[in-house]
Structure 1
Amino acid sequence: MHTARKFALAAAILASISALSSCGNTIRGVGRDTANAVDATQSAGRDVDRAASR
């Protein structure tokens, strides 16, 4: 292989690894956001239940 081809291949591999790690961070963030939304919904439900039982 020519040096330029090796360099291009290495650059493509590094770009792919960077993109995949970014996706992992995004998926983790979506999971946290979803968990927070569920917690907020449950809290609001408890507040409504308390207000209705007064």
Structure 2
Amino acid sequence: MIRKIVFACLAGSLALGASACNTVKGAGQDIESVGQAGDEAIN
């Protein structure tokens, strides 16, 4: 029983961690595109 609970917690943590990485990656791409747009506006 405890093994099932631990496995479920680990699986949930892995799923949340994977989605968080995608979110951070997307935010990084957004910030990068804003920086590029600023560079183009200055030039």
User: TM-score category by the smaller chain?
Assistant: 0.7 to 0.9
Number of equivalent positions = 43
Residue among 13, 20, 25 paired with 1:23: 20
Counterparts of 1:3-18 in structure 2, within 5 Å, are: 4-18=1-15
Higher-Rg member (1/2): 1
Rounded Cα–Cα distance in structure 2 between residues aligned with 1:14 and 1:32: 27
Deviation at 1:6, TM superposition (A): 1.4
- Which ranges in structure 1 are unaligned for 5 or more consecutive residues? 47-54
Tell me how far 1:26 sits from its aligned partner: 1.0
Q: Are positions 1:32 and 2:34 aligned together?
A: no
RMSD: 0.9
Q: What's the TM-score, normalizing by structure 1?
A: 0.71
What SS is found at the alignment partner of 2:27? helix
Runs of 4+ with deviation above 3 angstroms: none
Give me the TM-score of the superposition, normalised by structure 2.
0.85
